[in-house]
Structures are given as structure tokens and as C-alpha cells.
Amino acid sequence: MTDTRSANQHDDRYTVMTVCTGNICRSPMAEIILRHVVEERGLGDRVRVMSSGVSSEEHGNPIDPRAQKVLRERGYAVDPHHFAHRITRDEIEQTDLFLPMTASHMRSLLRQLPAGKRAEVHMYRSFDPNLPQPKPGQEDRIDLVDPWYGGPREFDVAIDQIEEVAPYIVDWIETQL
């Protein structure tokens, strides 16, 4: 589901980029779910949702089969043409809202952003009104669970966390349009 438009193909839609480590579990799950909510709200012509990783360690790989399974079980379509990649300079330039899954992803992403980049950067779960906002330096308290080393239960927890917060993120995006 990753939109791989080049910088030469400017897209005027508000662009959201979900970001995790390798772009095979959390960020594509969040991309698919956020895109679903965006479409449900009739905002698909105004909002584009993409995903990427902060590392290239999974470059070219499809969405993790366990992530695909939990997405399909919840009724989401999984794009067979999604291939993991590290965020590119063009994507950075085109993005209005970055949603890193963890504090570590956020720190890595911030190191990659050029000086003066005026995009919003918010941890994915920071939009959850039921979670206390962490103090500076304690952002890891709202990290989205990493299902990679776990089994089906961890993928269920990850998708639960993603689904729970997605409507709040889209509410906020609507205020930005």
C-alpha cells in the first residue's frame, strides 16, 4: 500500500507517514487502518496515508505474514504490492504528519529530517485521550507494542492499539485540512 510517487509527481493531498523499524509490521498495519478510517470519513481525495521504516533491514520484503493474518481477520484488505523500504528524502519532503510507532522511531526519524522541515511529528499513540501524555524523555511509555518477537497475541495487541487510536488521529487531521 505504500505510495511510491516520485517528487516530480506532486500530490496536493495532506500526507501522513506511519513509521516503524523495518516497515513490515506496525507501520503498514497503521497505514492500512488509517487509510480505512480516512476513506470511511470521505477524506480519501484530501488525505494520503503512506508507511516507511527508519531502517533498510527489511528492504523489499512484504508485510509480515502474521501482520497480514491479523489484518485480514479484522476485515482489512492487504495490498500484495507493499514492499518494505526506508523512508526517502522525497517522502520526507512530501509528508505533513509523521507518526512514529515508538520513541526510538521518533528519535531516528528526527535525525533524518532536514533542518527547517515544518511537518508535524507525533508518536502514534500520543493521540489517545485515554493515555497520560508522557513527560519529555519518557515518550517510550506510549510506545506501540512490538509484535515482531511475539506470537499471535502480540499482533492482536498491536492491532488493538492501532485501531483504538486511528479515529482520534483522523479527527486531528480533519482540523488540519
Q: Which residues are part of the catalytic machinery?
A: 20, 26, 146
List b or e across 99-135, with b for residues whose CB sees 16 or more CB atoms inside 10 angstroms: bbbbbbbbebbeeebeeeeebebebbbbbbeeeeebe
Q: What share of the chain is helix, strand, coil (3-state, %, to 5)?
A: 40, 10, 45
Sign of CA dihedral 85, 89, 91, 95: positive
